[in-house]
């Protein structure tokens, strides 16, 4: 009997070892050959043809892919929606660690790009001449696709910030549109006093909004130099933000409604949420999600942290990048350039995208587009102006995706307890430092 | 060596016949139960970093888990949940089962079905439904406030959200536990009740002296299921988090913590470690409950 059970065990061990061997194949072999790819190489690749798999959730790419295939009949673009942001990053990370099924092109948001660039999971596009495109993009997005001296993607869209406000509510209570954040707080007080159900905006703690406001205030909470990372939420810019926002929280002037919920859409529609500082990609969401309030809303430049200043920041936006393990790199780059710098840009603008290319941002036809939802206002003028005034020295963490996921665990406390915003940011900083250290970064505190 | 082979061969053939019978079972058992467990243990011995890749770290992850305040706060939270919610839920279930079993209830089939019905609603749907009712603006709580002119406390605030989750779980599982108790009560021989009546015992006496001792086994089983269920709390907090992001943290319960570690933090190794430690804790607590329950019975 003992002999048999030993044999059984050996058999089981074998089964387990096989199962483990099949699934646990990490490792990291490095083959980053720095070869230059000229435009002639790309042209010949386009003539030869092939298949390019693109993972993206951006809806306007569908038409671009069709146009590209028409122009280069031998190229087949396979557009796959592998999920929106986090879901797609999960799928992409899984595919990369399995070294199987990795797409040739992937949509990656600016705040998530750093992680893939740092771990060399996406290709430096300098070899394909991407550097030459630097001057054709607005500074915010271009700065976001750069990491070190590499260029890791081409900007697809951007989200220069603006203040969306409900003009009907502002007119009703005779409140002037705020041009500074101090005036914004004043407006919040006046409005809430006049109608206790109405709030200047809704905020329950959103990492994207907070980082964008810090960006606008000239704060530099993140310092990134390769694998060296610094995190500090106490500089002068951050102080401007915490001082102002703490007043809004303390006096209960922001509505405690979570963004993108039914309550939130209702609030935007019925005037109980009177403004929304967010990215230029918002109009399409207004038109589809808050149909009833069509004509009530307008767009204004962002309130300033200092009177007379002219600073803005970016909120959201994404790029197309080439995963290192993808195939048909020349074709993939040709498609990315077509979609994000060439003729594809116009196609995407027509379908509602907000571009990152200065030429299109400044073109009269773009700037003179009237938005029926905003009462015929030429909102693109404000967005384009905002895109020009984005400070270019902002950096996200190389693991911003994770950091954002714990924002409400830490900073969120400031919204529901006596914890101050500064203390909340401090614990976010500590948790981010802890994670960075665990992940092998050199983190200075 | 060669001279010894024939007898060995004979013995092997005999042994293989037996394995032939249990082979299919052993194979499935190994693949479905042992391999995932073994793989989790294997994973928990490594650490994958963004910078530096995968390294073997031995028991470092376990040491980290044992000192991880985020993990232990989660354990304490589900422990508190267990101590308060489980007695309430089982108490209500027992009361309903005894009421239906007493035979004095009018329309008992209707009550039995109605109380059991919530169990048929998927936990995700139930939580979404309750989440909507808890809304102080446009939900049921908000409507009540408007109708009565009151200002009810927000069920999704940081102080109340655990109780609100307890309410959902109780609503979902009272019927299930009631059915376990009711089934156990049905098999109690009626001659015992008749004997009690002859001895002049009242209803209360019948319950404490006959019914409760008779269903002790079912009580222990239901308690063990509830202990495991409490420790595995995940669906309700994970869904309500979208509505109350500041009240429910990503490490609210140990299961939610492992999920966040693995999917937001890409820390699959540490996540596996936390899951294993939590599994061991659950096993110990369930075993203690079983030992105590059975000792009383003996």
Instruction: Write out pLDDT tens, residues B45-81.
Output: 999 898 888 899 999 999 999 999 999 999 999 999 9
Which of B287, B297, B89, B130 has the alpha carbon at shortest distance from B212? B297
Residues B137 and B33 in one domain: no
Residues B102 and B14 in one domain: no
Read off the pLDDT band of A35 (50, 70, 90).
low
Residues B92 and B183 in one domain: yes
Q: Give the per-residue pLDDT at A445.
A: 66
Q: Do B247 and A205 touch (CB under 8 A)?
A: no
Percent of chain A with pLDDT over 70: 92
Q: Give the per-residue pLDDT at B151.
A: 85
Percent of chain B with pLDDT over 90: 69
Nearest-5° Cα angle at B9, B6 to B12: 155
A381-426 confidence digits (pLDDT tens): 999 999 999 998 899 999 998 999 999 999 999 999 999 999 999 9
Integer CA distances (angstroms), A325 to A92, A97, B22, B117, B259, in order: 11, 10, 44, 51, 28
Domain-embedded: residue B183: yes
- Compute the distance between CA of residue A307 and CA of residue A305 in angstroms, rounded to an integer: 7
- Confidence check: pLDDT of A9 > 50: no
Q: Do A409 and B250 touch (CB under 8 A)?
A: yes
| Mean pLDDT (whole number) for A273-281 | 95
Count of residues making up chain A: 445
A131-181 confidence digits (pLDDT tens): 999 999 988 899 899 888 899 999 999 999 999 999 999 999 999 999 999
Whether residue A402 lies within 8 A of chain B, CB to CB, comes out as yes
- Confidence check: pLDDT of A84 > 90: no
B240-295 confidence digits (pLDDT tens): 998 889 999 999 999 999 999 988 888 999 999 999 999 999 999 999 999 988 77
Whether residue A261 lies within 8 A of chain B, CB to CB, comes out as yes
Residues B132 and B210 in one domain: yes
Q: Give the per-residue pLDDT at B117.
A: 95
Residues B69 and B16 in one domain: no
| Mean pLDDT (whole number) for A324-334 | 93
- Confidence check: pLDDT of A20 > 60: no
Q: Do B265 and A263 touch (CB under 8 A)?
A: no
Domain-embedded: residue B182: yes
CA A114 to chain centre: 12
| pTM score, whole prediction | 0.84
Mean of all residue pLDDT scores within chain A:
89
Domain-embedded: residue B271: yes
Read off the pLDDT band of B29 (50, 70, 90).
very high
Q: Do A441 and B50 touch (CB under 8 A)?
A: yes
B98-145 confidence digits (pLDDT tens): 999 988 888 888 999 999 999 999 999 999 999 989 988 778 898 898
Which of B113, B111, B109, B234 has the alpha carbon at shortest distance from B168? B234
| The pair of three-digit structure tokens given for residue A239, joined into one six-digit string | 């102080």
- Confidence check: pLDDT of A18 > 90: no
- Min Cα separation A136/chain B (Å): 33
Residues B125 and B15 in one domain: no
A-chain residues near B60 (CB < 8 A): none
Which of B218, B211, B226, B231 has the alpha carbon at shortest distance from B279? B231
- Confidence check: pLDDT of A5 > 50: no
- Compute the distance between CA of residue A291 and CA of residue A281 in angstroms, rounded to an integer: 16
Residues B293 and B165 in one domain: yes
Question: Which residue would you say has higher pLDDT here, B40 or A7?
Answer: B40
Q: Give the per-residue pLDDT at A204.
A: 93
Q: Give the per-residue pLDDT at B12.
A: 52
Q: Give the per-residue pLDDT at A8.
A: 43
A273 and A136 Cβ atoms separated by less than 8 Å:
no
On the CB side of A250, how many CA atoms lie within 13 Å of its CA?
11
Integer CA distances (angstroms), A78 to A62, A106, A206, A277, in order: 10, 12, 34, 36
B-chain residues near A416 (CB < 8 A): 157-158, 246-247
Q: Give the per-residue pLDDT at B13.
A: 57
A114 and B49 Cβ atoms separated by less than 8 Å:
no
Select the residue from A3, A10, A13, A15 to test the B interface by mutation, using most B Cβ atoms within 10 A: A15
Read off the pLDDT band of B181 (50, 70, 90).
very high
Q: Do A398 and B249 touch (CB under 8 A)?
A: no
Read off the pLDDT band of A36 (50, 70, 90).
confident
| Mean pLDDT (whole number) for A69-75 | 94
Whether residue B265 lies within 8 A of chain A, CB to CB, comes out as yes
Residues B107 and B21 in one domain: no
The 3-class SS string of B242-270 reads CCCCCCCCCCCCHHHHHHHHHHCCCCHHH
Q: Give the per-residue pLDDT at A285.
A: 87
Q: Give the per-residue pLDDT at B16.
A: 80
How many Cβ contacts (< 8 angstroms) between chains A and B? Answer: 101
Q: Do B250 and A8 touch (CB under 8 A)?
A: no
Read off the pLDDT band of A434 (50, 70, 90).
very high
Domain-embedded: residue B53: no
| Mean pLDDT (whole number) for A64-87 | 91
Whether residue A405 lies within 8 A of chain B, CB to CB, comes out as yes
Checking ipTM against 0.85, whether it exceeds it is no
Q: Give the per-residue pLDDT at B105.
A: 84
A337-356 confidence digits (pLDDT tens): 999 999 999 999 988 889 99
Mean of all residue pLDDT scores within chain B:
90
Domain-embedded: residue B49: no
Q: Do B51 and A402 touch (CB under 8 A)?
A: no
Residues B174 and B285 in one domain: yes
Domain-embedded: residue B50: no
Q: Give the per-residue pLDDT at A19.
A: 41
The 3-class SS string of chain A reads CHHHHHHHHHHHHHHHHHHHHHHCCCCCCCCCCCCCCCHHHHHHHHHHCEEEEEECCCCCHHHHHHHHHHHCCCEEEEEECCCCCHHHHHHHHHHHHHCCCCCCEEEEEHHHHHHHHHCCCECCHHHHCHHHHHHHECHHHHHHHEECCEECCEECCCCEEEEEEEHHHHHHCCCCCCCEHHHHHHHHHHHHHHCCCCECEECCCCHHHHHHHHHHCCCCCEEEECCEEEECCCCHHHHHHHHHHHHHHHCCCEECCCCCCHHHHHHHHHCCECEEEEECCHHHHHHHHCHHHCCCEEEECCCECCCCCCCCCECCCEEEECECCCCCHHHHHHHHHHHHCCCHHHHHHHCCCCCCEHHHHHCHHHHCCCEHHHCCECHHHHHHHHHHCCCCCCCCCCCHHHHHHCHHHHCCHHHHCCCCHHHHHHHHHHHHHHHHHHCCCEEEC
Number of structural domains found in chain B: 2
Read off the pLDDT band of B5 (50, 70, 90).
low
| Mean pLDDT (whole number) for A106-111 | 94
Q: A365, exposed or middle or buried, with CB in 10 Å at 0-12, 13-18, 19+?
A: exposed
Domain-embedded: residue B2: no
| Mean pLDDT (whole number) for A251-276 | 92
Residues B172 and B265 in one domain: yes
Give the range of the structural domain holding residue B24, as residue numbers without chain letter: 8-44
- Confidence check: pLDDT of A29 > 80: no
Q: Give the per-residue pLDDT at A21.
A: 38
Residues B117 and B232 in one domain: yes
- Confidence check: pLDDT of B155 > 50: yes
Domain-embedded: residue B276: yes
Whether residue A406 lies within 8 A of chain B, CB to CB, comes out as yes
User: Which chain B residue has its CA at the smallest distance from A398's CA?
Assistant: B50
Whether residue A347 lies within 8 A of chain B, CB to CB, comes out as no
Residues B130 and B162 in one domain: yes
CATH number of residue B292's parent domain: 1.10.3720.10
User: Which chain A residue has its CA at the smallest distance from B137's CA?
Assistant: A263
């Amino acid at each position: 009997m003992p002999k048999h059970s030993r044999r059984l065990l050996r058999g089981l061990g074998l089964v387990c070892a096989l199962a483990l061997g099949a699934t646990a194949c990490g490792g990291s072999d490095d083959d980053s050959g720095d070869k230059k790819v000229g435009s002639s190489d790309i042209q010949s690749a386009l003539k030869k043809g092939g298949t390019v798999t693109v993972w993206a959730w951006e809806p306007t790419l569908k038409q671009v892919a069709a146009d590209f295939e028409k122009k280069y009949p031998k190229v087949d673009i396979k557009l796959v929606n592998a999920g929106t942001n986090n879901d797609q990053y999960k799928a992409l990370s899984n595919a990369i660690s399995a070294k199987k099924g990795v797409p040739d092109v992937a949509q990656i948001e600016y705040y998530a790009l750093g992680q893939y660039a740092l771990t060399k999971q996406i290709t430096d596009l300098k070899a394909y001449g991407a550097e030459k495109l630097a001057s054709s993009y607005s500074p915010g997005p271009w700065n976001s696709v750069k990491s070190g001296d590499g260029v890791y993607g081409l900007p697809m869209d951007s989200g220069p910030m603006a203040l969306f406000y409900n003009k009907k509510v502002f007119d009703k209570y005779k409140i002037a549109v705020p041009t500074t954040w101090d005036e914004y707080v004043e407006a919040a007080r006046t409005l809430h006093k006049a109608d206790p159900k109405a709030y200047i905006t809704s905020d329950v703690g959103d990492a994207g909004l907070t980082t964008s406001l810090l960006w606008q205030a000239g704060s530099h909470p993140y310092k990134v130099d390769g694998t060296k990372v610094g995190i500090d939420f106490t500089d002068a810019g951050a102080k401007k933000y915490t001082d102002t926002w703490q007043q809004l929280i303390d006096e209960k002037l922001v509505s405690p409604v979570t963004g993108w919920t039914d309550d939130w859409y209702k609030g935007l529609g019925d005037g109980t949420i009177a403004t929304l500082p967010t990215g230029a990609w918002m109009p399409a969401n207004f038109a589809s999600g808050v149909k009833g309030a069509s004509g009530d809303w307008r767009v204004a430049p962002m309130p300033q942290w200092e009177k007379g200043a002219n600073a803005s920041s970016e909120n959201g936006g994404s790029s197309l990048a080439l995963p290192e393990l993808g195939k048909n790199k020349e074709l993939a780059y040709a498609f990315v350039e077509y979609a994000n710098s060439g003729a594809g840009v116009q196609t995407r603008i027509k379908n509602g995208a907000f571009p990152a290319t200065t030429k299109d941002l400044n073109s009269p036809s773009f700037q003179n587009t009237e938005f029926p939802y905003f009462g015929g206002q030429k909102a693109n003028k404000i967005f384009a102006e905002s895109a020009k005034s984005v400070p270019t020295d902002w950096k996200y963490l190389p693991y911003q995706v994770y950091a954002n996921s714990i924002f409400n665990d830490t900073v969120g406390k400031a919204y529901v307890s006596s914890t101050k915003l500064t203390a909340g940011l401090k614990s976010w900083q500590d948790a981010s430092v802890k994670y960075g250290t665990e992940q092998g970064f050199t983190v200075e505190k | 060596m060669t001279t010894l082979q024939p007898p060995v061969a004979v013995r092997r053939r005999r042994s293989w016949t037996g394995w032939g019978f249990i082979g299919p079972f052993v194979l499935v058992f190994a693949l479905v139960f042992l391999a995932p467990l073994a793989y989790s243990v294997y994973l928990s011995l490594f650490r994958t970093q963004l910078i530096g890749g995968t390294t073997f770290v031995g028991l470092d992850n376990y040491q980290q888990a044992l000192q991880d305040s985020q993990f232990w706060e989660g354990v304490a939270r589900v422990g508190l949940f267990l101590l308060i919610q489980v007695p309430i839920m089982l108490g209500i279930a027992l009361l309903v089962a005894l009421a239906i079993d007493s035979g004095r209830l009018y329309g008992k089939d209707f009550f039995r079905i109605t109380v059991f019905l919530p169990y048929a609603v998927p936990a995700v749907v139930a939580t979404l439904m309750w989440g909507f009712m808890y809304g102080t603006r446009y939900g049921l709580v908000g409507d009540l406030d408007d109708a009565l002119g009151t200002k009810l406390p927000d069920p999704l605030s940081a102080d109340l959200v655990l109780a609100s989750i307890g309410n959902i779980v109780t609503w979902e599982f009272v019927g299930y536990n009631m059915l376990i108790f009711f089934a156990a009560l049905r098999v109690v021989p009626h001659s015992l009740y008749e004997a009690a009546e002859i001895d002049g015992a009242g209803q209360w006496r019948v319950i404490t002296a006959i019914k409760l001792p008779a269903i002790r086994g079912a009580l222990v089983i239901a308690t063990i299921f509830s202990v495991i269920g409490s420790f595995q709390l995940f669906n309700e907090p994970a869904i309500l988090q979208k509505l109350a992001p500041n009240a429910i943290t990503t490490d609210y319960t140990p299961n939610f913590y492992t999920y966040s570690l693995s999917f937001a933090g890409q820390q699959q190794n540490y996540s596996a470690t936390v899951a294993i430690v939590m599994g061991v804790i659950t096993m110990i607590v369930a075993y203690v409950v079983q030992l105590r329950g059975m000792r009383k019975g003996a």
